[in-house]
Amino acid sequence: MQSSRIFIVGSGVVGAATGEGFLAAGHEVTFIDIAPERVRALRARGLDVRTEIDLTAEPDSLIFLTLPTPNDGHSYDLSAFTAGTASVGRALATAQAHHTVVVRSTVPPGTTEGLVRTVLEELSGRTAGAGFGLASNPEFLRAASAAEDFAHPWMTVIASRDPQTVERLRTVLAPFGGELRTFADPAEAEFIKCAHNIFNATKISFWNEMWLVAQKLGLDLDPIAATVARSAEGSINPRYGIRGGAPYGGVCLPKDTRGFLGFADSVGVEMPLLSAVVATNDRLAQIVDHEVDTATHAAGADQLRTRAADPVAVTGRQQHEPA
């Protein structure tokens, strides 16, 4: 049981799941939101909801920023996120205790120690570290199963320059279980969350692009994709391809990526993702001059057989050069 209060600033999908998850774990939680209909809906659920955060007489608390960060074309619109952060900065100015601000929204790398720190310091007249704690703790939940995902996370990431802040968050978050990783630089945690979403998006687009070709050929993609999911080392070896500065080489990957582009073209399907895969590899091959085959290592055939049966059971080395 945690004695200090948890504030949730921005009580939408993530904020509500986060706050209600903490409540269920025995914490005292106060929700903040500026949308009247949201405030009404949460109050109707019996929650402590306010339209403004007041830290004047508040003992040490944890303040989670779960504010919206939509895109505006090819950029993030951080206006609502900044406004919510500013309200916390103003509240910190009147605070007596040492509060910790935790960025849980998905934000571009550098936001916590850039925008958030600057806004909080300017409006509170305090310095991050001595005057208030500052951390990144991105949320990985899926909207469709938000409450369940918060209660049973498979990965928790905490980052702060201050080891005591990391430990404070670990104490609060570790009881929910799952793997917990800590970092000293909040930008690493922010990058993890962006890469997490982008990797998922890339995999989905890859199979949709393949589906377009299969459609042209009158093939059902589902059993094909399900088989590749068990045959391709990239799918079954958790260490394969998970590194930077190592483009693929050898014979088969360069040959089949280029060859399939021409094949798809011959059946009238454009494959912009596959074109980008080839272009990215060519660019990386010019930037890094070491041989991929010596930089990376394959799993043995026995390991692959084991992984095909149990994808996460075996750890091994990776190699980009296929059989």
Ligand X SMILES: NC(=O)c1ccc[n+]([C@@H]2O[C@H](COP(=O)([O-])OP(=O)(O)OC[C@H]3O[C@@H](n4cnc5c(N)ncnc54)[C@H](O)[C@@H]3O)[C@@H](O)[C@H]2O)c1
**Which residues contact ligand X (rule: CB under 6 A)?**
9-15, 32-35, 38, 66-69, 80, 83-84, 87, 105-106, 139, 141-143
The residue among 37 and 289 lying less far from ligand X, judged by its C-beta, is: 37
Within 10 A of 94 (CB to CB), how many other CB atoms are there? 12
Residue nearest to ligand X (CB): 12
Residue 245 CB, nearest approach to ligand X (Å): 29
Q: 295-301, long-range: CB within 8 Å, 24+ apart, which pairs?
A: 295/245, 295/246, 296/243, 296/246, 296/320, 296/321, 298/233, 298/240, 299/233, 299/237, 299/239, 299/240
In whole angstroms, how close is the CB of 132 to ligand X at the nearest point? Answer: 18
66 vs 237, which CB is nearer to ligand X?
A: 66
| Six token digits for residue 2 | 């945690």
Distance CA 117, CA 87 (A): 13
Min. distance of Cβ 24 from ligand X in angstroms? 18
Is 94 or 294 the residue whose CB approaches ligand X more closely? 94
CB of 18 to ligand X, least distance (A): 9
- The three-state secondary structure class of 12 is coil
Contacts of 143 (CB under 8 A, 6+ apart): 13
Q: Judged by CB, which is closer to ligand X: 65, or 298?
A: 65
Enter the DSSP assignment of 5.
-
Cβ nearer to ligand X, comparing 90 with 239 = 90
The span from the CA of 179 to the CA of 170, in Å, is 11
How near is the Cβ of 105 to ligand X at its closest, in Å? 3
The enclosing H or E element of 100 equals strand 100-103
